Amino acid sequence: MNEKILIIIPAYNEEKSILRVYQGIIDYNKENNTNYDVIVINDGSIDNTKKICQENNIPVINLVQNLGIGGAVQTGYKYAYENNYDYAIQYDGDGQHEISCVKDILKPLRENQADLVVGSRFIDKNSSEFKSSAARRMGIKIISNLIKITTGSRIYDVTSGFRASNKTVINYFAHVYPLEYPEPVTNAELVKKGLRVKEVPVRMHERETGKSSIHTWKNAYFMINIFFSILVVTLRRDK
- Give the predicted TM-score (pTM) of the model: 0.89
Per-residue DSSP letters for the chain?
A: ----EEEEEEESS-TTTHHHHHHHHHHHHHHHT--EEEEEEE-S-SSSHHHHHHHTT--EEE-SS--HHHHHHHHHHHHHHHTT-SEEEE--TTS-B-GGGHHHHHHHHHTTS-SEEEEESSSSTTT-S----HHHHHHHHHHHHHHHHHHS---SSTT---EEE-HHHHHHHHH---SSSHHHHHHHHHHHTT--EEEEE--B---SSS--S---TT-HHHHHHHHHHHHHHHHSPP-
Full pLDDT tens readout for the chain, 239 residues: 689 999 999 999 999 999 999 999 999 999 999 999 999 999 999 999 999 999 999 999 999 999 999 999 999 999 999 999 999 999 999 999 999 999 999 999 999 999 999 999 988 766 555 555 677 778 889 999 999 999 999 999 999 999 999 999 999 999 999 998 899 999 999 999 999 999 999 999 865 554 554 545 446 677 888 888 998 988 876 64
